[in-house]
Chain A
Amino acid sequence: MALCTLTDVKKDYRMGEVRVPALRGVSVAIEPGEFTVFAGPSGSGKTTLLNLVGLLDVPTSGSVEMEGQDVLKLSQAELGALRARRIGFIFQSFNLIPVLSAFENVALALRLAGHKGGDRKERVTRALSQVGLGDLMDRRPSQLSGGQQQRVAIARALVKDPALVIADEPTANLDSKTGQAILDIMRQMNEEGGATFLFSTHDDMVMQVARRVVHIHDGVVIEDEHRTQPPRSGAEPK
């Protein structure tokens, strides 16, 4: 069963009296374990599509299913609970909570997911160690570099073992070397941990390592490229 299925999804935005179509009928299914990129130029609709898959937004028409469940029938509170448990987010601007330490930021995701287990501390420590921040857990975001902040964001997304990780232009605010390192971590999590990653990007470096690239232009899928070759490890940044 597909992890997430979008069928003939349309999404319009209203700008005053004008209706602006962002998606004009997109159908796409995300399978477990994928490392997929929504690629396209600015304004193509890739972030809108990512928002719909991440249950952050609802379509104007069409259907969205998550693990077989019609998410359009869920209330805002139910959607929130589903996101908290099943979806991890990595943002372009990292978006860590500035008043919390790296440890607390990661722990927050577990708490919001309703995790009440006594192993919370171990899980957070493990998640941060996996991204190479075992020694910087007590630092606040302002005391971390951009790359380190994004690693915390990755740990925050993955600590709850989500079904899907949504990453919106995760390397856009990083220099190419740091971006590559971040990408390597995510690919490792995908290959070894089996986490499903879904990106929106126009960064070639990210597209090179993707196993599937869904090309979007003017709100429609113009190409769904499945690559048989595993992504190149340690791909050189352009």
Chain B
Amino acid sequence: MPDLSLILPLAARNALRNSRRTALTALTVLLGTGLLVVGLSWINGIFGQFQREAARSTGHVRVVSKAWAEREALQPLYENIPDTAPVAAAIERIPGVTGVYPRLLLGAAMAPEDGEIGDDFALMVGAPLAWHQQVMGLDERVASGRFFSEDDGARKGEALIGKALAAQLGVDAGQDVIVLGRTQDGSMSDLRLTAVGVVDTGNGLYDKQLFIDLEQARWAADIPDGALELLAYGDDYGGADALDLQIEALLADGQLAREAGLPEGGELIAQAWNHREPWVSALSLFDAIVGIVVSCIVFITALGVLNTMLMSVLERTAEIGVLRAMGMQRGEVVLAFVFEALVISVVGGLLGVTLGSLAALAMGQTGIDLGTAASNLPDTMPVNRILHPAWNLGIALRAFGLGLVMAIVGSTTPAVRATRVQPVQAMRSRR
């Protein structure tokens, strides 16, 4: 059993022995951990935003008819949930559920009141006022005009138009929009809506949509009490998997599907946001990118540590020989060098994590404006125009831990090399 009370103080003293080299090693670890904090904060900020927006726009968990899910791209409106109320009520009773909202996403041709219909197509998002307000926060994103009316009757003819769509149609706040959609049986369905407000969501996907009241959308699609989706939200989108399981349990016996008026054999299914494309692929990609970035930084930093530790070992061959001659075991020699690197890395890591955190927090204040680039992303990716790094304590701790990994990886080879020093080397070192 190695005597740590002997090895640790020796390692600490050796760490301070060559101040220039120690500073160089600490600086390497400082840069590595600092880069990790900044890099991970950016990745977390960018992908976290993707995920948050995805979970927000699609519901932490959504309930749809299985038939709808299977052919979603074709928009088979007739595969709707005819009566959402009993299902929503059942889900609302699950502890931790903060809201359940029916929603209809309807593709439609749109035109300004004096324009020609058929050139412009967009998604019409029909949902309750609470969803527009509490989930999407559209009331705080009105660029011109106003938010929906509180009065149910007045709200029916109103729409909020995304900034990009407004520009595309040439519509300003207060002007009418002509919408040509279809009902669930395939008939044409026309609407004349007043764009009471233009919303600037800062998100390329939402800015191309038209937001309307749920009842208006139900009327347009001729689904009087139903919806295409029921979006359920919990406290945090990270808990979607757990919520998904609970909702699946509710749906398992088919009773709710019958209460919702689904045809014989129809099934309701629950889907957590992160179990649906493109998020399944995006999350795998995210993990891969994090893995690659982290591995590269750890590898390069470890190489720096290896370089300086190897110099230490070569310089101290005689000394290691003496320690071995005096009876120090191989394992103790390895530990002495690894601990020495760890001591230096703790100092470098603390400084690196502190500086990296300050840098990430400072960059979080300004962010990077993608400008028009964000609006060219596919409609399935809800990307915000301005991206921010998102620092958190977990990132700082992770970077610090990885700093120690860099030290261990970088010092193991030199330490093993040190164990190859034979006791007889002590005799060979002569001035």
Query: A143 in the interface, Cβ–Cβ < 8 Å?
Result: no
Chain A positions 90 through 113: 1 when the CB is less than 8 Å from some CB of chain B, otherwise 0: 011101011110000000110111
A141 CB → nearest B CB, Å? 11
Tell me which residues across on chain A come within 8 A of B426, comparing CB atoms: 56, 89, 91, 95
Is A187's CB within 8 Å of the partner chain B?
A: no
Query: Counting CB contacts under 8 A, is A50 at the interface?
Result: yes
Do B329 and A91 touch (CB < 8 A)? no
Interface-centre pick from B3, B322, B325, B429 (highest chain A CB count, 10 A): B325
Known contacts A50-B427, A95-B426, A173-B431: A89-B327 contact under CB 8 Å: no
A56 to B427, CA, bound (A): 9
Interface pick from B9-17, B59-67, B92-100, B355-363: B9-17
Per-residue CB proximity of B400-431 to A under 8 Å, as 1/0?
Answer: 00000000000000000000001110110111
B323 interface residue (CB < 8 Å to A): yes
User: Is A83 located at the chain interface by the 8 A CB criterion?
Assistant: yes
- Which residues on the B side are within 8 Å of A54 (C-beta)? 325
Q: Answer whether residue B56 sits at the interface, using C-beta atoms and an 8 A cutoff.
A: no
CB <8 Å contact, B327 and A80? yes
A-B contact count (CB 8 A): 80
Judging by beta carbons under 8 Å apart, are A84 and B424 in contact? Answer: no
A2, chain B: closest CB distance, angstroms: 22
- Does residue B353 face the partner (Cβ distance < 8 Å to A)? no
Contact present for A100 and B10 (CB under 8 Å): yes
Which residues of chain B are within 8 angstroms of A91 by Cβ–Cβ distance? 322, 426-427, 429
Considering the chains assembled together, what is the distance between the CA atoms of A81 and B16 in angstroms? 29
Cα distance, A54 to B13, chains bound together (Å): 29
Contact A95 B14 (CB under 8 A): no
Question: Which positions 48-98 of chain A face chain B at CB distance < 8 Å?
Answer: 50-51, 54, 56-57, 76-77, 80-81, 83-85, 89, 91-93, 95, 97-98
- A108 vs B17: C-alpha distance when bound (angstroms): 18
Contact: B326 with A112, CB < 8 Å? yes
Is A47 positioned at the interface, with any CB of B under 8 Å from its CB?
A: yes
Report the bound CA distance from A111 to B16 in whole Å. Answer: 22
**Distance, CA A56 to CA B329, complexed state (A):** 13
B262 adjacent to chain A (CB < 8 Å): no
List, sorted by A's number, 6 A–B pairs whose CB atoms are closer than 8 Å.
Answer: A56-B423, A77-B329, A84-B326, A95-B322, A109-B326, A172-B430
Measuring CB to CB, which residues of chain B are less than 8 angstroms from any residue of chain A? 3, 6, 10, 13-14, 16-17, 318-319, 322-330, 422-424, 426-427, 429-431
Residues on A close to B: CB < 8 A?
A: 47, 50-51, 54, 56-57, 76-77, 80-81, 83-85, 89, 91-93, 95, 97-100, 108-109, 111-113, 168-169, 172-173
Using A169-B430, A173-B431 as known contacts, list a sample of 4 further A-B pairs with CB atoms less than 8 Å apart, ordered by residue number in A: A89-B426, A91-B322, A91-B426, A100-B13
- Nearest 3 CB-CB pairs, A to B? A84-B327, A99-B13, A112-B327
